[in-house]
Structure 1
């Protein structure tokens, strides 16, 4: 008799043969193979997007054709080649642009405002992607990173504003305020993440529902607090006062008007390395991973699954809160009601990364590249913003599909991540329990 469910695998006989043939090539791919598949997916998504832009340009109305098909001479209102050139080239600061400073012109510099926007998005998405990935590795679906980011951002802004008058102005005080503000963001986000974690562990509440609801609670409570209590005098928008300039994470090498700081990106990379070590090489990481794969096996191995659930959601929320801190201290300089949907984007980043902390960096960069390039398309072309969103979504969807198939393959018990992976986990848990018993003896 075989168990069923995502943790234990599914009886292969129940999986239709056609579905097995579709899933089999994806279920057991190496990292290199999945990378090649992802690159091929990007090329395919660009080809599909090319056709969509052409069709949209054919039905649109314009006085002059932006692109004419060779041989046939058929005209289109949108130039698909220009769209993709602007999308990728613009996000990188136009290094290859014709008529602009580029590779043939040494005056081009990567440290410009356009590329800074891409790196700013990348930096913020690193933290939200890591936040979601931690929960996923524990078998939890944290859709509440957005709320945790909002709470962490507000905690950071209020803490820095309250502590600034207590310290003399200067670089040293700025470093202290940045550290204190980031710690406050981590505590605020961690607290907001611990709530659904405790509800899941001790009340068996579905974390998907609780985290979604807490997103609304966080956004509205923060809005009311700032509107009624902490709103800056004379501000036309719902926002706090700006934190002191010396307490902000300032750009280095980039323009002063840029909202990107290399220090913040470096901190994100350090966070990736630290989280990878925590998950893969520490007892806590082992407890978290085994609980996510097979809770029963983890319990047999001596893991306190309920406590691990709370800890995982707390850690996930804390990382999301740090993302809110970076948004305040690097990008905006204050808390504003118009918080971008970084938490929801982090879900996509985590899936693209396969819930692996190391993969979060390239996934966040790809997402940042698409977001930065999409803004350039709006500035440089007549293509509607809705169509730009379709192109972004196509690229993300095609890149994510191999990982999606792999997850489905694991779910139905195919590949090393299916029943074999669970069996290995159960074996490891049993060995841990045996070692624990011998130690107690």
Structure 2
């Protein structure tokens, strides 16, 4: 037992102290294992499925319906095989950049924001109502767009930030755990938005719970034919990622935000207002979620409509995969965006059940994220050169 404990301790020490290059190699190795396991899973699943055109016959076993190599090839082609596919991938990537950064900002301050989805939903509604109102009062040209689009983004950020501040205040001044409060506020936000649109601010003539379509001047211009992806949104997301990285690594405020969430008592002893900074971190996190909602309305849906995808929850996985590093969120969001758009192609082209495709996505996420998860646990427990495990 002691030998097993020593080996486990040594592994955690190594994992915590890994360099950036080593962590990339670990992630690539994990990805390879996930693909290998997924290949076996798809191949075996094909023998219990019904199909009219099986790709293999094994004597004594039967016909296999699913070709794993073809499936992965279709997934890659569906994500990057054409300009239109690339546009859909970058569209997903842009949204996941905002939600991943929202979660990462809270994580960097020692907080766990599970409420990005609710902040996104309310931010999207605030942005939609803003651009609908302003769109009727400004010229229908470029000058009007320069007023309406920034206003939608700002209002989305303000609404999302205000909703994020609520669990921040509860955490700072009532010691309410942010995981519980943010999860519950997701339901509250969805309910409020649904009620408001269904009964007051929505398109009451529509059979769906939705607002009126936003005007043309409020829609982010598409950069690639066949997709609604806008390069302006992507550039904005990348700029925010760099700005947040610099905030947390090069500024006094960033240092105070990190220390306030990780060790409140030490921060207070050092003259930092820890409670205020906890609220600030959650507000900033919520604002990014609200921006994601605004971009979703102005780049993808062109209205607020019930049933917004779970982009906020995907952002949690993106942040964990990126080890909560704002710059690491960029490749993590691209990986997730590629898998999401490629999965649609697999479902449509090969007839592979969507549930099986979701399992494959989950395997890839799990294998890549688990080393970072154990690294975070080991670091918190005191393993590695920076601490001493008990």
TM-score by length of 1: 0.84
RMSD: 1.8
1:278 aligned partner: 247
Query: Within the alignment, does 1:185 sit opposite 2:185 as a pair?
Result: no
1:204 aligned partner: 175
Cα distance in 2 between the residues matched to 1:233 and 1:127 = 31
Cα distance in 1 between the residues matched to 2:248 and 2:367 = 28
Relative distance call for 1:136 and 1:417 in structure 2 (3 A) is: farther
Cα distance in 2 between the residues matched to 1:408 and 1:199 = 25
Conserved 8 A contact 1:409-1:418 = no
CA positional deviation for 1:293: 3.1
Conserved 8 A contact 1:130-1:357 = yes
Conserved 8 A contact 2:14-2:384 = no
Relative distance call for 1:276 and 1:49 in structure 2 (3 A) is: same
State which of 69, 87, 90 in structure 2 corresponds to 1:119.
90
Cα distance per residue 1:80-107 (max 9 Å; x no partner): 1111111122111x2xxxxxxxxxxxxx
Query: Within the alignment, does 1:52 sit opposite 2:41 as a pair?
Result: yes
Cα distance in 1 between the residues matched to 2:379 and 2:359 = 29
Cα distance in 1 between the residues matched to 2:252 and 2:192 = 37
CA positional deviation for 1:372: 0.5
Query: Within the alignment, does 1:37 sit opposite 2:26 as a pair?
Result: yes
- Number of equivalent positions: 387
Cα distance in 2 between the residues matched to 1:320 and 1:214 = 13
Q: Secondary structure at the match of 2:328?
A: helix
Cα distance in 2 between the residues matched to 1:139 and 1:131 = 13
1:79 aligned partner: 67
Relative distance call for 1:273 and 1:83 in structure 2 (3 A) is: same
Cα distance in 1 between the residues matched to 2:6 and 2:388 = 18
Cα distance in 2 between the residues matched to 1:362 and 1:67 = 36
Cα distance in 2 between the residues matched to 1:221 and 1:125 = 24
Conserved 8 A contact 1:146-1:344 = yes
Greater CA drift, 240-249 or 288-297: 288-297
Matches within 5 A, 1:113-152: 114-152=85-123
State which of 284, 295, 301 in structure 2 corresponds to 1:332.
301
Cα distance in 2 between the residues matched to 1:244 and 1:61 = 47
2:335 aligned partner: 366
Matches within 5 A, 1:89-104: 89-92=77-80, 94=81
Cα distance in 2 between the residues matched to 1:111 and 1:83 = 20
Relative distance call for 1:72 and 1:91 in structure 2 (3 A) is: farther
Query: Within the alignment, does 1:217 sit opposite 2:188 as a pair?
Result: yes
1:301 aligned partner: 270
1:379 aligned partner: 348
Q: Secondary structure at the match of 1:358?
A: coil
1:98 aligned partner: none
1:415 aligned partner: 384
Relative distance call for 1:219 and 1:304 in structure 2 (3 A) is: same
Cα distance in 2 between the residues matched to 1:297 and 1:280 = 19
2:257 aligned partner: 288
Cα distance in 2 between the residues matched to 1:72 and 1:21 = 47
Cα distance in 2 between the residues matched to 1:116 and 1:63 = 33
Matches within 5 A, 1:151-190: 151-190=122-161
CA positional deviation for 1:111: 2.7
Cα distance in 1 between the residues matched to 2:51 and 2:352 = 12
Decide which structure has the larger Cα Rg and report it: 1
CA positional deviation for 1:189: 0.1
Cα distance per residue 1:295-352 (max 9 Å; x no partner): 2222221111100000000000001100001000111111111111000000000000
Cα distance in 2 between the residues matched to 1:51 and 1:122 = 28
TM-score by length of 2: 0.95
